């Protein structure tokens, strides 16, 4: 797409961080809350910067000048891509932008459960369902900790002919922990809609695994999850993604051991990555340069030094929890489930492990912590 003879017009979702002061230098920018994205308000925009709450439908886009949609999220099921392709509207997502953030969330939730129930994560077998950007990061962090891992990804197994990928039923039969990181698909050879259903959960009765859904709400059948908890087929349940968001199931909320308002990918680092990738897409399409883009980064954490000296046990788990404790957003959601979307908008984004330095560690702990991105 050729450069414009006038300033580029961008409408950006107001809660996408780290944009202000960078795009304003070279573009005519309007910041809008997601609920103010209307056809009238975006009519003269050349490009949009959105997140997953903003649905780009024909009703929104018809009659506008929008030629590029960028989303600061890895997922893009909120964009009607078929309509955009037919209308010549380019769209770009931000694959992998928050992969480490979701992996951090998973490992911190498991650390919290391990402390609560006093078991070693290294004694557990973890099954990762969906080994794309996020699943690979979960694999990397869990491997650094020393956990035994089994992987399930039928599309990758078919493409790559890799026999190391196992079936979902094999994981259910073997694993102490099942964590799901699949895209939401309803068609094709391997649809993920309600992948976690009565049949799968019935097969969980023997191993009673910890189950984590940190991908998409409708990957799990809410009623089936509630029944599985009631019947004792799961030892623990972690839910970050919910059917019907923002109107979540209160029965499922009461049954989850850890319940959060879809914030697994909400690290400050992931948000900066997503914002940067949106601007890189706009730069590529329109030929504009954004000064300061390469240095776009979140502020340091309030307390970046973690001391392991006072900790007697579960030391790696405690280091992880110093970066993010899932019980904080869990408590907020339980107090105000009706404020689901507001909790997401006002959420304080944690920094990822690379922003922290850990002191007072043994040589063997240092190897593990470095493998999980900590400074030692």
Residues 6+ apart with CB under 8 A from 161: none
Catalytic residue among 216, 255, 276, 351, which? 216
CA 1 to chain centre: 31
The C-alpha atoms of residue 131 and residue 120 are separated, in whole angstroms, by 24
Q: Which of 173, 245, 280, 365 is catalytic?
A: 245
Distance, CA of 279 to CA of 288 (rounded, Å): 9
Asked about 262 being catalytic, the answer comes back as: yes
Beta bridge partners of 306: 358
Q: Which of 181, 262, 315, 344 is catalytic?
A: 262
The C-alpha atoms of residue 129 and residue 216 are separated, in whole angstroms, by: 13
* DSSP one-letter code for 56: B
Reported residue count of the chain is 376
9 an active-site residue?
no
8-27: burial string, b at 16+ Cβ within 10 Å, e else: bbbbbbebbebbeebbeebb
**Nearest by Cα to 178 from 138, 145, 119:** 138
Catalytic residue status for 354: no
DSSP 298-349: PPPPS--EEE-TT--S-HHHHHHHHH--THHHHHHHHH-GGGHHHHHHT--P
Peptide bond into 246 cis (omega under 30): yes
User: Which sequence positions are flagged as catalytic?
Assistant: 216, 245, 262
């Amino acid at each position: 797409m050729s450069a414009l003879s006038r300033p580029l017009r961008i409408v950006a979702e107001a809660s996408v961080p780290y944009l202000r002061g960078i795009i304003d230098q070279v573009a005519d920018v309007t910041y809008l809350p997601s609920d103010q994205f209307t056809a009238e308000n975006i009519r003269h925009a050349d490009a949009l910067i959105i997140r997953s709450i903003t649905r780009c439908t024909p009703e929104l886009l018809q009659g506008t000048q929008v030629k590029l949609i960028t989303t600061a999220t890895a997922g893009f099921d909120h964009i009607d891509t078929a309509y955009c392709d037919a209308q010549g509207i380019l769209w770009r997502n931000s694959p992998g932008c928050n992969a480490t953030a979701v992996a951090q969330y998973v490992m911190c939730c498991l650390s919290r459960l391990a402390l609560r129930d006093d078991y070693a994560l290294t004694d557990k077998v973890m099954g990762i369902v969906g080994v794309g950007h996020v699943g690979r990061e979960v694999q990397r962090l869990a491997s650094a900790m020393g956990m035994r891992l089994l992987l399930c990804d039928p599309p990758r197994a078919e493409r790559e002919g890799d026999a190391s990928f196992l079936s979902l039923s094999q994981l259910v039969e073997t694993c102490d922990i099942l964590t799901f990181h699949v895209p939401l698909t309803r068609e094709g050879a391997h649809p993920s809609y309600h992948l976690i259903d009565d049949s799968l959960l019935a097969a969980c009765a023997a191993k009673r695994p910890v189950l984590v859904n940190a991908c998409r709400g409708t990957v799990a059948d809410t009623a089936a999850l509630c029944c599985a908890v009631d019947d004792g087929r799961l030892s623990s349940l972690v839910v970050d993604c919910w059917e019907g968001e923002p109107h979540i199931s209160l029965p499922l909320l009461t049954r989850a051991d850890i319940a959060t308002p879809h914030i697994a990918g909400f690290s400050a680092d992931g948000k900066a990555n997503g914002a940067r990738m949106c601007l890189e897409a706009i730069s590529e399409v329109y030929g504009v340069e954004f000064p300061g883009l390469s240095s776009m980064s979140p502020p340091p954490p309030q307390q970046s030094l973690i001391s392991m000296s006072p900790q007697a046990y579960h030391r790696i788990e405690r280091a992880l929890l110093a970066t993010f404790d899932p019980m904080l957003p869990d408590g907020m959601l339980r107090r105000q489930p009706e404020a689901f979307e507001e909790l997401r908008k006002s959420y304080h984004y944690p920094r990822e492990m690379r922003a922290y330095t850990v002191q007072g560690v043994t040589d063997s702990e240092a190897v593990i912590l470095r493998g999980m991105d900590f400074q030692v």
